[in-house]
Amino acid sequence: MFQKSVSQRLLLPTIFLFASWIFSLPLLAQDDDTPVFTFRNSIVNITGDLYRASNGAWHAIFLATEEGIILVDPLNTAFAEWLKVQLDERFDVPVRYVIYSHSHFDHAAGAGVFADTATIVAHERVVMNMDGRFPHMPGDMIERNNNGVIDREEIMIPTTTDPGICGMFDGWFEQMDQDSDGIMTPAELQADILPPNLTYSDRMSLTLGGKTIELMHPGKNHGDDMTAVLFPDERVVFASDMIADALVRDDIRSIPSACGPLDGTPIDEWIRSYEAVAALDFDIFAGGHGGIFSKEDISHPIQFLRDLKAAVQEGLANGLTLEEMQEQIMLEEYSDWAYYDRLRPKTIDAAYRNLTLFRY
Ligand SMILES: [Zn+2]
Ligand SMILES: [Zn+2]
Give tens-digit pLDDT for 89-99: 999 999 999 99
How would you classify the pairing of strands 228-231 and 50-55?
unpaired
pLDDT at 165: 86
Calculate how far, in angstroms, residue 321's C-alpha sits from the geometric centre of ligand 2.
32
- How many other C-beta atoms lie within 10 A of the C-beta of residue 342? 18
Residues at Cβ < 5 Å from ligand 2 ion: 241, 246
pLDDT at 360: 58
- Out of 162-176, 199-213, 304-318, pick the least confident: 162-176
Buried b (16+ CB within 10 A) or exposed e, 1-34: eeeeeeebeeeeeebbbbbbbbbbbeebeeeebe
Cβ atoms of residues 284 and 237 within 8 Å: yes
What torsion, rounded to 10 degrees, do the Cα atoms 35, 10, 80, 134 define? 80
Calculate how far, in angstroms, residue 315's C-alpha sits from the geometric centre of ligand 2.
31
Domains within the chain, CATH numbers bracketed: 3-131+193-299 (3.60.15.10), 300-357 (no CATH)
36 vs 93: which has the higher pLDDT: 93
Q: For a pLDDT cut of 70, what percent of the chain falls above it?
A: 89
What are the backbone dihedrals phi and psi of residue 18, each rounded to the nearest 5 degrees, phi first? -65, -35
Q: Which residues pair with 229 in a beta bridge?
A: 215, 238
Which ligand lies nearest to the CA atom of residue 58 in the structure? 2
36 vs 216: which has the higher pLDDT: 216
Q: Reduced to 3 states, what is the DSSP secondary structure of residue 301?
A: helix
Which ligand lies nearest to the CA atom of residue 245 in the structure? 2
Cα torsion angle, 217, 219, 225, 226, sign: negative
Calculate how far, in angstroms, residue 246's C-alpha sits from the geometric centre of ligand 2.
5
- How many other C-beta atoms lie within 10 A of the C-beta of residue 188? 16
- Out of 7-11, 84-88, 256-260, 339-343, pick the least confident: 7-11
Calculate how far, in angstroms, residue 319's C-alpha sits from the geometric centre of ligand 2.
36
Residues at Cβ < 5 Å from ligand 1 ion: 104, 138, 241
Identity of residue 47: T
pLDDT at 3 over 60: no
Calculate how far, in angstroms, residue 66's C-alpha sits from the geometric centre of ligand 2.
30
Cα separation, 294 vs 297, whole angstroms: 5
Cβ atoms of residues 64 and 48 within 8 Å: no
Categorize the per-residue pLDDT at 271 as very low, low, confident or very high, splitting at 50, 70 and 90. Answer: very high
Enumerate residues 6+ apart whose C-beta is below 8 A from 191.
Answer: 178
Categorize the per-residue pLDDT at 163 as very low, low, confident or very high, splitting at 50, 70 and 90. Answer: confident
